[in-house]
C-alpha cells in the first residue's frame, strides 16, 4: 500500500472522508460485505457468529453486574442476591450472565464439533484452529473464576479443588497453589484476584477472537464438502447471504436462550451454590459446572494425582496438535466413512464422559470413566494417525458447484486422489 | 429447499415489505435490550427504601446548627435566633434571585431544615459551626465559587441559581423531625 | 500404549476427589406437591404466602433467620404499607452508633432487613445443641426439589423404622438426607391462628410456609415468566420473518 489517502469507493461524503483517512468502511465491506464465502454452508456454520454474539452478551451483562457486585468474602453472596432482589432488572442481567456461560459452552462445543467433523483444522487452517483452542482455554479459565464469584458452597469448594490440582506438580506445586490463593486457603485475596482476572480475560478473549477471525479471512472458510472454492461460481458475498442465514440461526438461538433464562434459570446450576461458602463444611458431592464434567471425569478416572491432572490438561492440549495427528488429506468426514464412524463415537464418548463426570466416583462409574478416557485419547493418538494411512476415502467432488449442479457422486477416479493443495 | 426455482418472479415487492417488517422488528428488539441495562443503573429498590432519617431537636440550642445525613447527603438543621428570623422575613421577596418567602421554607419558624448542597455545583456551604464564615447575609457561604445564602437559605449573591432545597420532613413530636 | 496401561488401571480404585454421595439411608423420591407457582404460567397464591409468613414469623423465626429479606418486601405479598410498618415495628432492630457512640435498639422500619434470631452462627449453634438452623432466605433454591422438598420435610416426621436408632437430640425424618435431623417436628395442629379462618393443619401450614419460602427465594418469578412469554412470542415472530427474508435472499442461488 502506498502512502497517502486511501482510494475510497464510498460516495457518502462523511463516510468517504473517514474512509480515505482510516479505511474501516472499506475493510468492513471487504471482510463482511463482499467477502467470498463458500455457497454450501449448512447451519453448523452459524455457530461462529453465535459464539461472537454470546461473547458480547457476556461482556455487556458482566460489566453491568460488576457495578453492583462486591468482591469480598463477607459481601459477595449477599451482593449477588441484592442484584437479584433490589437492582432493577438485576435478576434478568444476572440470569442472562449465568446461563450465558452455559450457552457459550454449548455454542463453542458445537463449533468445535463442526471444525473436527469437517476437518477445518487441516492445512492451511492450522493456526486458525490453534487460536480457537487458545480461546477455549481462556474461556475455561474465565468461566471457572466467574463461578467462584457468588461465593456459594460450590464456588468455594470448586475453587479449592481446582486450585489444588496444581499441587500435584512436584517441587513447585505448593508454591503455585499459594501463589494462586494469595494465602493458605481459598479466601478473600483469592476472591479478589479471581474477580480482577474474570473481568480481564474476556477482553483477552476478544483480542484472540479478532486474530481468529483475521486468520479465517486469510484462508477463507472451510465448507461441508471440505473442497476449496474453485472460482466465483462456488462462492457468495458474505452479505446479504450469510448475514441473513446467520440472523436466522441467531434468532432461533435467542429463543433457546430465553427459555433457559426465563423458565429454568437454575436448571443447569447446583442448589449448593445458594448456600453461602463455608470453609468448614464440604458438600457431600462436589461437581463442577456441566461444561467441565468431561475433564473432571478424566481427572477422576486416573488413580494417581499427578497423572490425573496431566491427563486432564492433556485432554485439551492435545487439540493443539490435532492438525498433525490427522494427516489424512481429505477434510470432510462425509468422504471418510471410517473416520466418521470413529469421530461420531468419539462425540458420544465425550457425552459419556460428561454424564459420568456428574456421578459419584465409585464402582462401575470409575470403570466407565476409564474406558471413556482411554477412547478419548486413543482417537487422537492411535485411530486418526492410522486412518490417515489405511483409510480409503470416498471420491471427492470436483468443486462445490459440481455436486449441486450435477447431483449425485462423481464417477470414480475423478477425485479419489487426495485433496488439492489450497 | 426444493422450491427455490419459482418464487423469484413476483419477489421484489414482497421482499421489500418483508425487509422493512423484519428490520423494524429487529430494531425494536435491539432497542428493548438496552432498557434493562439502563434501568439497572437507576437507584435500586433498597436504595429507594432507605428514605428516612430521624433527628432529635432537643439538644440543639438557639443559634446552633447540626448536620445529619439523609440519602447520603448532608442536611442542615438550624435553630434560628429571633434576629435571624426577623432578618429573613424583612427582605423584599421580589428582589431576590429566586423569590420565596421565609414562611414558605419553614414549618416552624425556629427550625430551618435544608439540604446542605450548594445549588451551583454541589459543594457543601460553610456556616454550620459558630466559627464558620457565614457570608454577607449571615446564613451560609459556599467557598467553592462564592455563593452567599441568607438565614432562610436563599441565594442572595453569587453564581448559584436556586435557594438551598428544603427536604420533605415532618415533626413527629415537638422535639423530633423525620426527614424523608 | 496408553490404552493398554489404562485397562490395567481400570482395576484399581483410588480416588482423588469427591466422597460417596449417599449417607445412611436410601434417597427417597420427593413427592410432587401441587403449588400455585408450578408450571410456566404459575403465580404465587398471595393468601397462602401471607399465611406462610405468619407461620414463619410465629414458628420458624424462633431459630431461622431470613437476612436477605426486608419488611418492605412484604408489600409484594399484598400487605398494605401500614400493615408492613406495623409488622416491622414489632421487632427491635439494633442501630447506631448514636451521638454517644452507643449501639441502641429501636422499633423496626419497612426498610430494615428481617431480624435474625441469633447475632451470629456461634450463638445459633450454642442455642441449638450444636446444630445450625440455616438462613431461609433462598432455601428453595438451595435444596434439590425446592418447595416440594420443604413440604415433604416438614410433613415427613415419623417414628423410626424398627432397627433404626435415632441419636440423642435428633429426629427421624423420611425425606431428610440421612434421615436424622436436628430440627424437631415443629408444626403442630392449630399452632397458629389464621386470620382468614383457614384451618391450621400441619399440612396446610407446611404448604403455606413452603409457598412463602418459594416467594422469598424467587420474588422475581412472576415478572420473569411474564416477560419470558412476551419475549418468546416476539422472537418466534422475528424468527419467522428472518427465515422468510433468508429464503427470499437465497431464492436465486442454486444450492
The answer, yes or no, to whether residue A414 has pLDDT greater than 60, is: no
The answer, yes or no, to whether residue A413 has pLDDT greater than 50, is: no
- Output DSSP code: residue B70: E
Residues 242-281 of A with CB under 8 A from B: 247
When CB atoms are compared, the residue of C3, C18, C144 closest to A361 is C18
Q: Mind listing the pLDDT tens digit for each residue in A203-224?
A: 999 999 999 999 999 999 999 9
Confidence of residue A421 (pLDDT cuts 50, 70, 90): very low
Residues 80-109 of A with CB under 8 A from B: 82, 85-90, 92-93
Closest residue, chain C, to B17 (C-alpha): C245
Closest CA to C135 of A276, A272, A277, A270: A276
Contact A51, A108 (CB under 8 A): yes
The DSSP line for B72-139 is: TEEEEEEE--HHHHHHHHSS-GGGSSS---SGGG-SBTTEEEEE-S-TTTSPPPB-SSTTS--TTTEE
Confidence (pLDDT) at B14: 60
- β-pairing, C104-107 vs C171-172, is unpaired
Cα A289 versus chain centre, distance: 15
Confidence (pLDDT) at A101: 97
- Mean pLDDT in residue range A360-380: 95
CB-CB under 8 Å, B46 with C248: no
The conformational region for residue B70 under phi > 0 = left, psi -120 to 50 = alpha, else beta, is beta
Confidence (pLDDT) at C255: 63
CB-CB under 8 Å, C248 with B18: yes
Task: Count residue pairs from A and B with Cβ separation < 8 A.
Answer: 37
C26 close to B (CB below 8 A): no
When CB atoms are compared, the residue of B15, B29, B46 closest to C70 is B46
Residues of A annotated as catalytic (active site), given as ranges: 217, 221, 245-246, 289
C234 close to B (CB below 8 A): yes
- Mean pLDDT in residue range A42-67: 97
Residue C103, helix vs strand vs coil: coil
CB-CB under 8 Å, A82 with B44: yes
CB-CB under 8 Å, B4 with C250: yes
Closest residue, chain B, to C240 (C-alpha): B22
The DSSP line for A218-283 is: HH----TT-----SGGGEEEIIIIIHHHHHHHHHHHHHHHHHHHHH-TTTTS-GGGGSBP-TT---
Rg of chain A in Å (alpha carbons): 24
All residues at 6 or more sequence positions from B23 whose CB lies less than 8 Å from its CB, including other chains: none
Closest residue, chain B, to A79 (C-alpha): B46
The answer, yes or no, to whether residue C154 has pLDDT greater than 70, is: yes
Cell numbers found for residue B22 = 423484519
- % pLDDT > 90, chain A: 90
CB-CB under 8 Å, C228 with A39: no
Confidence (pLDDT) at C114: 95
Confidence (pLDDT) at C246: 95
When CB atoms are compared, the residue of B37, B44, B45 closest to A64 is B37
Confidence of residue B149 (pLDDT cuts 50, 70, 90): very high
Confidence (pLDDT) at A408: 47
CB-CB under 8 Å, B8 with C244: no
Q: Which of A88, A89, A90 to mutate to test the interface with B (most CBs of B within 10 A)?
A: A88
Contact B116, B67 (CB under 8 A): yes
Contact C10, A301 (CB under 8 A): no
Confidence of residue C21 (pLDDT cuts 50, 70, 90): very low
pTM, to two decimals: 0.88
- Mean pLDDT in residue range A399-408: 64
The answer, yes or no, to whether residue C26 has pLDDT greater than 70, is: no
Confidence of residue B140 (pLDDT cuts 50, 70, 90): very high
Confidence (pLDDT) at B94: 87
When CB atoms are compared, the residue of C6, C14, C245 closest to A374 is C6
CB-CB under 8 Å, A262 with C228: yes
Lowest mean pLDDT among A83-92, A334-343, A403-412, B57-66: A403-412
Confidence (pLDDT) at B17: 87
Confidence of residue A284 (pLDDT cuts 50, 70, 90): confident
Confidence of residue A419 (pLDDT cuts 50, 70, 90): very low
Confidence of residue A338 (pLDDT cuts 50, 70, 90): very high
Q: Which of C72, C140, C246 to mutate to test the interface with A (most CBs of A within 10 A)?
A: C246
Contact B50, C111 (CB under 8 A): yes
More confident residue, C96 or B153: B153
Task: Count residue pairs from B and C with Cβ separation < 8 A.
Answer: 51
Lowest mean pLDDT among A176-190, A368-382, C49-63, C167-181: C167-181
Q: Which of C247, C249, C255 to mutate to test the interface with B (most CBs of B within 10 A)?
A: C247
**Angstrom distance (rounded) from CA A174 to CA A165:** 10
Q: Mind listing the pLDDT tens digit for each residue in A113-162?
A: 999 999 999 999 999 999 999 999 999 999 999 999 999 999 999 999 99
- In this complex, which chains have at least 3 CB pairs below 8 Å with chain A? B, C
**Angstrom distance (rounded) from CA A62 to CA A57:** 8
Per the residue annotation, which of B6, B120, B145, B148 is the catalytic one? B145
Lowest mean pLDDT among A87-96, A197-206, A402-411, C86-95: A402-411
Contacts of B9 in chain C (CB under 8 A): none
- % pLDDT > 90, chain B: 54
Q: Mind listing the pLDDT tens digit for each residue in C101-125?
A: 899 898 888 889 999 999 999 999 9
Contact A50, A249 (CB under 8 A): yes
When CB atoms are compared, the residue of A68, A82, A93 closest to B36 is A93
Confidence (pLDDT) at B7: 41
CB-CB under 8 Å, A86 with B36: no
Minimum distance, in Å, between the CA of residue C9 and any CA atom of chain A: 7
CB-CB under 8 Å, B46 with A90: no
Cell numbers found for residue A346 = 468419539
Confidence of residue A416 (pLDDT cuts 50, 70, 90): very low
Confidence of residue A403 (pLDDT cuts 50, 70, 90): low
Confidence (pLDDT) at A1: 53
CB-CB under 8 Å, B44 with A68: yes
- Mean pLDDT in residue range B130-137: 87
The answer, yes or no, to whether residue C200 has pLDDT greater than 90, is: yes
- Output DSSP code: residue C102: -
Contacts of A370 in chain C (CB under 8 A): 6-7, 9-10
**Angstrom distance (rounded) from CA B180 to CA B44:** 17
Amino acid at each position: 500500500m502506498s502512502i497517502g489517502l486511501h482510494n475510497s469507493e464510498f460516495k457518502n461524503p462523511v463516510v468517504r472522508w473517514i474512509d480515505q483517512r482510516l479505511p474501516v468502511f472499506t475493510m468492513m465491506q471487504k471482510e463482511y460485505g463482499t467477502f467470498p464465502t463458500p455457497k454450501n454452508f449448512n447451519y453448523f456454520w452459524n455457530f461462529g457468529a453465535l459464539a461472537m454474539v454470546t461473547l458480547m452478551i457476556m461482556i455487556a451483562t458482566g460489566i453491568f453486574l460488576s457495578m453492583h457486585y462486591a468482591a469480598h468474602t463477607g459481601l459477595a453472596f449477599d451482593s449477588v442476591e441484592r442484584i437479584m432482589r433490589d437492582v432493577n432488572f438485576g435478576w434478568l442481567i444476572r440470569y442472562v450472565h449465568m446461563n450465558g456461560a452455559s450457552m457459550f459452552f454449548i455454542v463453542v462445543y458445537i463449533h468445535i464439533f463442526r471444525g473436527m467433523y469437517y476437518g477445518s483444522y487441516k492445512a492451511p487452517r492450522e493456526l486458525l484452529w490453534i487460536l480457537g483452542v487458545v480461546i477455549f482455554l481462556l474461556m475455561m479459565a474465565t468461566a471457572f473464576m466467574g463461578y467462584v464469584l457468588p461465593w456459594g458452597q460450590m464456588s468455594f469448594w470448586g475453587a479449592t479443588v481446582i486450585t489444588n490440582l496444581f499441587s500435584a506438580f512436584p517441587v513447585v506445586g505448593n508454591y503455585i497453589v499459594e501463589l494462586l490463593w494469595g494465602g493458605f486457603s481459598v479466601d478473600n485475596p483469592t476472591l479478589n484476584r479471581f474477580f480482577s482476572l474474570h473481568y480481564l480475560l474476556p477482553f483477552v478473549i476478544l483480542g484472540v477472537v479478532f486474530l481468529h477471525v483475521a486468520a479465517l479471512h486469510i484462508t477463507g472458510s472451510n465448507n461441508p464438502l471440505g473442497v476449496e472454492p474453485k472460482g466465483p461460481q462456488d462462492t457468495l458475498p458474505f452479505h446479504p447471504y450469510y448475514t441473513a442465514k446467520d440472523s436466522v440461526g441467531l434468532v432461533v438461538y435467542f429463543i433457546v436462550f430465553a427459555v433457559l433464562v426465563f423458565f429454568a434459570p437454575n436448571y443447569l446450576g447446583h442448589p449448593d451454590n445458594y448456600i453461602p461458602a463455608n470453609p468448614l463444611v464440604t458438600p457431600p458431592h462436589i461437581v463442577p459446572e456441566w461444561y467441565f464434567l468431561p475433564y473432571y471425569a478424566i481427572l477422576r478416572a486416573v488413580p494417581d494425582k499427578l497423572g490425573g491432572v496431566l491427563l486432564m490438561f492433556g485432554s485439551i492440549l492435545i487439540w493443539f496438535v490435532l492438525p498433525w495427528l490427522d494427516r489424512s488429506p481429505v477434510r470432510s468426514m462425509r468422504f471418510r466413512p471410517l473416520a466418521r464412524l470413529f469421530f461420531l463415537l468419539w462425540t458420544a464418548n465425550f457425552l459419556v464422559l460428561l454424564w459420568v463426570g456428574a456421578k459419584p466416583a465409585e464402582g462401575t462409574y470409575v470403570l466407565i470413566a476409564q474406558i471413556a478416557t482411554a477412547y478419548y485419547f486413543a482417537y487422537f493418538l492411535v485411530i486418526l494417525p492410522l486412518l490417515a494411512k489405511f483409510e480409503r476415502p470416498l471420491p471427492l467432488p470436483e468443486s462445490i458447484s459440481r455436486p449441486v449442479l450435477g447431483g449425485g457422486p462423481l464417477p470414480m477416479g475423478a477425485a479419489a486422489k487426495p485433496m488439492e493443495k489450497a | 429447499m426444493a422450491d427455490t426455482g419459482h418464487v423469484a418472479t413476483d419477489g421484489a415487492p414482497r421482499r421489500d415489505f418483508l425487509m422493512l417488517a423484519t428490520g423494524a422488528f429487529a430494531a425494536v428488539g435491539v432497542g428493548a435490550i438496552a432498557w434493562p441495562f439502563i434501568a439497572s443503573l437507576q437507584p435500586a429498590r433498597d436504595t429507594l427504601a432507605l428514605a428516612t432519617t430521624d433527628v432529635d431537636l432537643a439538644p440543639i440550642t438557639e443559634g446552633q446548627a447540626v448536620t445529619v445525613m439523609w440519602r447520603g447527603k448532608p442536611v442542615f438543621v438550624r435553630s434560628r435566633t429571633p434576629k435571624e428570623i426577623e432578618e429573613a422575613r424583612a427582605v423584599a421577596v421580589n428582589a431576590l434571585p429566586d423569590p420565596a418567602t421565609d414562611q414558605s421554607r419553614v414549618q416552624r419558624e425556629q427550625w430551618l431544615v435544608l439540604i446542605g448542597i450548594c445549588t451551583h455545583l454541589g459543594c457543601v456551604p460553610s456556616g454550620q459551626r459558630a466559627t464558620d464564615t457565614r457570608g454577607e447575609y449571615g446564613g451560609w457561604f459556599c467557598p467553592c465559587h462564592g455563593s452567599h445564602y441568607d438565614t432562610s437559605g436563599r441565594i442572595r449573591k453569587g453564581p448559584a441559581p436556586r435557594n438551598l432545597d428544603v427536604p420533605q420532613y415532618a415533626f413527629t413530636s415537638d422535639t423530633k423531625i423525620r426527614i424523608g | 500404549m496408553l490404552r493398554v496401561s489404562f485397562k490395567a488401571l481400570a482395576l484399581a480404585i483410588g480416588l482423588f476427589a469427591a466422597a460417596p454421595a449417599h449417607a445412611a439411608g436410601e434417597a427417597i423420591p420427593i413427592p410432587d406437591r401441587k403449588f400455585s407457582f408450578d408450571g410456566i404460567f404459575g403465580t404465587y397464591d398471595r393468601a397462602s404466602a401471607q399465611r406462610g409468613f405468619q407461620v414463619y414469623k410465629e414458628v420458624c423465626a424462633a431459630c431461622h433467620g431470613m437476612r436477605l429479606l426486608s419488611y418492605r418486601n412484604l408489600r409484594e405479598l399484598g400487605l398494605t404499607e401500614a400493615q408492613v410498618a406495623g409488622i416491622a415495628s414489632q421487632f427491635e432492630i439494633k442501630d447506631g452508633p448514636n451521638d454517644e457512640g452507643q449501639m441502641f435498639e429501636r422499633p423496626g422500619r419497612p426498610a430494615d432487613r428481617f431480624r435474625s434470631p441469633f447475632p451470629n452462627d456461634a450463638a445459633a449453634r450454642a442455642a441449638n445443641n450444636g446444630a445450625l438452623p440455616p438462613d431461609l432466605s433462598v432455601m428453595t433454591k438451595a435444596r434439590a426439589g425446592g418447595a416440594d422438598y420443604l413440604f415433604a420435610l416438614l410433613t415427613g416426621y415419623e417414628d423410626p423404622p424398627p432397627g433404626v436408632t435415632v441419636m440423642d437430640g435428633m429426629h427421624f425424618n423420611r425425606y431428610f438426607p440421612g434421615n436424622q435431623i436436628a430440627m424437631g417436628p415443629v408444626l403442630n395442629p392449630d399452632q397458629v391462628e389464621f386470620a382468614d379462618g383457614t384451618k391450621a393443619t400441619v399440612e396446610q401450614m407446611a404448604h403455606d410456609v413452603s409457598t412463602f419460602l418459594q416467594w422469598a427465594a424467587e420474588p422475581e418469578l412472576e415478572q420473569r415468566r411474564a416477560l419470558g412469554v412476551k419475549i418468546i412470542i416476539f422472537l418466534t415472530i422475528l424468527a419467522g420473518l428472518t427465515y422468510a427474508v433468508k429464503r427470499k435472499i437465497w431464492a436465486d442461488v442454486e444450492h
